[in-house]
Amino acid sequence: MGKRVAKEVSIAVADAVAQCRVDVISAYPITPQTHIVEHLAELVNNGELDAEYVPVESEHAALSVCIGASATGARTFTSTSSQGLLFMYENLFIASGLRLPIVMVIANRSISAPISIWNDHSDVMTMRDAGWIQTFAENGQEAVDLVYHAYKVAEKCLLPVAVNLDGFIVTHVVEPIEMAEQEVVDKYLPPLKMKYKLDPKKPVSMGAIGVPEIYTEAKKALDEALKASYKVVIQAWREFEKLTGRRYNPVESYHMEDAEVGMVIMGSLAETASNAVDELRAKGKKVGLVKIRLWRPFPMQDFLKAIGKVKALCVIDRAISHGATGGPVGIEVRSALYQSNKRPRLVNFIAGLSGRDVTKDDFKELFERTFEALSKKPKFSYEIYGAKE
């Protein structure tokens, strides 16, 4: 067992990346990701980490470097936020299309305009269709553990993995964190060996044209690989549990066994929401929480199991899909329900944009409004909660 030490989460995440013995790091600093890559640069500079740190002129280049390095069989890392992620955009699809096991930590932040450095999920939701495995951390311990997990999964599936943690709310908080022992990490993560890589002794071509006769098949193969990664994600968490005692699931539920109203949420707001659940439970209200940790591939069966027999679901989104029928999570959940026989009433709120606090009282109100929706069908398909009239 490792020792619990108080650490800023960004520093702990960087230390975890170093423990994974990465070969190449390439990143461009952007708030609130900065401390992660700064600390890694320090570790490389001090000789504590034997890796190549490639400073670049942009995030587009940062991911390009990772793509090139990963194609040669190197273990790579990058990290970004907000506009930086958007600047990487076209390369996101190349990383997954070429099946490169790159790991990226995203310190989630709003996107411009208006410019904002604060937290929500509008950056990562733009890449939900990019073919990356995507996980969400609720707190610092999870963030660190998801980094170890990301390398395990990426390299077994040969798919890129994005680990999401809420900017500032998670990244800049000092938490007691138990880092895995180095020998445990080494046992968990054997050196990366890729069957095919850029090697002059055994040449292969990557990134060839996909003519209409073959493009569909190439995309189908990626889609199947992403779906099949689900099993590896679970196995990697089970193996991690054996080594560290910490257990993770794609979907976590809290007080859902007999819940009438459930709330679906991702990321750090789940901690506040669970406090609201505790207080409402103390008053006899049958409420519960469903936390989605694995966003891609979407764990449909786990989700359907987790919601039990709720009569109504309140889905919290932290991003807007302008002009759509709901927020990204709301749309996903409605689609999942449509394929099952479960038909709880569903209300979808977009809350906590750009770091606006969603307090315990807000969550109680959201639960209250979901109870109201049981007797009266809401007129909206989603609502931007808290927008001042």
Partner 1 sequence: MPRDQGLMSWKDLAIGMYILEPGNSAKFKTGDWRSHRPVLDKEKCIKCGQCYLLCPEPAYEENEEGYFICNLMYCKGCGICAAICPKGAITMVLEEA
Decide whether 203 or 323 has the Cβ nearer to partner 1.
Answer: 203
Decide whether 48 or 199 has the Cβ nearer to partner 1.
Answer: 199
Sign of CA dihedral 146, 148, 151, 153: negative
Decide whether 114 or 212 has the Cβ nearer to partner 1.
Answer: 212
Contact between 100 and partner 1 (CB under 8 A)?
A: yes
Decide whether 231 or 305 has the Cβ nearer to partner 1.
Answer: 231
- Least separation in angstroms between residue 32's CB and partner 1 is 33
The stretch among 1-9, 92-100, 320-328, 348-356 that binds partner 1 (CB under 8 A) is 92-100
Sorted by sequence, the CB contacts under 8 Å of residue 67 that are 6+ apart come out as 91, 94, 95, 98, 100, 102
Q: Which two tokens stand for residue 306?
A: 């987790």
Bridge partners of residue 349, in order along the sequence: 316, 383
Name the nearest CA neighbour of 81 among 46, 51, 119. 119
Decide whether 174 or 214 has the Cβ nearer to partner 1.
Answer: 214
Q: Which of 117, 158, 232, 304 binds partner 1 (CB under 8 A)?
A: 158
Name the nearest CA neighbour of 173 among 134, 203, 144. 144
Site residues for partner 1, 314-333, by CB under 8 A, read none
- Least separation in angstroms between residue 219's CB and partner 1 is 8
The stretch among 91-99, 237-245, 249-257, 375-383 that binds partner 1 (CB under 8 A) is 91-99
Decide whether 5 or 204 has the Cβ nearer to partner 1.
Answer: 204
Q: How far is CA 146 from CA 16, 43, 248, in A?
A: 9, 21, 9
The answer to whether the CB of 364 falls within 8 A of the CB of 280 is yes
Sorted by sequence, the CB contacts under 8 Å of residue 13 that are 6+ apart come out as 36, 105, 143, 144, 147, 165, 171
The answer to whether the CB of 88 falls within 8 A of the CB of 62 is yes
- Least separation in angstroms between residue 225's CB and partner 1 is 8
Q: Give the C-alpha separation, 246 to 368, whole Å.
A: 34
Sorted by sequence, the CB contacts under 8 Å of residue 103 that are 6+ apart come out as 17, 20, 76, 77, 78, 147, 150, 151, 154, 160, 161, 163
Decide whether 93 or 371 has the Cβ nearer to partner 1.
Answer: 93
- Least separation in angstroms between residue 96's CB and partner 1 is 9
Decide whether 29 or 97 has the Cβ nearer to partner 1.
Answer: 97
Three-state DSSP state, 37 = helix
Site residues for partner 1, 223-282, by CB under 8 A, read 224
- Contact characters 185-224, partner 1, x per CB under 8 A: ----------xx------xxxx-x-xx-xx-xxx-xx--x
CA 101, chain centre distance (Å): 16
Q: Which of 99, 128, 291, 293 binds partner 1 (CB under 8 A)?
A: 99
Catalog residues that contact partner 1 under the rule CB under 8 A.
97-100, 158, 195-196, 203-206, 208, 210-211, 213-214, 216-218, 220-221, 224
